[in-house]
A and B are shown apart, each in its own frame.
Chain A
Amino acid sequence: EDQVTQSPEALRLQEGESSSLNCSYTVSGLRGLFWYRQDPGKGPEFLFTLYSAGEEKEKERLKATLTKKESFLHITAPKPEDSATYLCAVQALWGSSNTGKLIFGQGTTLQVKP
């Protein structure tokens, strides 16, 4: 069964304290891995898409990397405004069905204190 597991569930950092969030996945063929940011009560906001192992994407203080089994979201020198829940999702190969279904992890809730 296709599955996504994120760790840790919650993370508290001091402003400027760099860290990484983990997303482990089990999927029958990876079509794409997606990172989203979600603020309370809001819709997920797209951050990155990764398609193949070894790929890396960067945006401001965030950097996403991908291996054959997991993805990391590295946060460098975070600020309080980076506080949010970060969601990882995978899109699996469905054979001839070719659908866009995303399978989400439970998310990591990040709190950055000033």
Chain B
Amino acid sequence: DSGVTQTPKHLITATGQRVTLRCSPRSGDLSVYWYQQSLDQGLQFLIQYYNGEERAKGNILERFSAQQFPDLHSELNLSSLELGDSALYFCASSPGRYQETQYFGPGTRLLVL
């Protein structure tokens, strides 16, 4: 158990819908990262938050957004969902802004029908 929690574990929804994925980092970690894992793309970095502020963006679609709250938990919002958004979404956390090891949560499996 990495100490990072993610909810829900599974999510099935329809195209065009909007969903919210939630992540709680390890105790004491200030950085939260979101990654997407699909069969053809592997693990891809989406976005990083550090202590409530956005630090870096990867190939995150404009339909996707995230935020980190004062209690340091984070939410990833996916809207206008398409079939291609079906994937595993992972959250990771680390103590600081960079270099430290990132510990991953169990992931949310999203299926868009």
Which residues of A pack against B, CB within 8 Å?
Answer: 31-32, 34, 36, 41-46, 49, 87, 89, 91, 94, 97-107
Secondary structure of the B contact surface, majority rule: strand
Whole-angstrom CA separation of A56 from B98 in the bound complex: 21
Whole-angstrom CA separation of A103 from B46 in the bound complex: 11
Q: Which 6 A/B pairs are nearest by Cβ-Cβ distance?
A: A99-B56, A43-B104, A104-B43, A100-B98, A44-B104, A101-B45
Q: Please tell me if the beta carbons of A105 and B42 are within 8 angstroms of each other in the complex.
A: yes
Please pick, from B43, B55, B98, the residue contacting A44 in the complex, using a CB distance under 8 A.
B43
12 A-B residue pairings within 8 Å (CB atoms):
A36-B104, A42-B106, A43-B90, A45-B104, A46-B102, A87-B43, A99-B56, A100-B31, A100-B97, A102-B33, A102-B35, A103-B45
Q: A32-B99, A34-B101, A91-B99 are in contact. Are A101 and B90 (CB under 8 A)?
A: no
Whole-angstrom CA separation of A45 from B42 in the bound complex: 16
Q: Please tell me if the beta carbons of A101 and B58 are within 8 angstroms of each other in the complex.
A: yes
Minimum C-beta distance from A70 to chain B (A):
18
Number of interface residues, chain B, beta carbon within 8 A: 30
Whole-angstrom CA separation of A46 from B104 in the bound complex: 8
**Cβ of A99: which chain B residues have Cβ within 8 Å of it?**
48, 55-56, 97-98
**Cβ of A46: which chain B residues have Cβ within 8 Å of it?**
2, 101-104
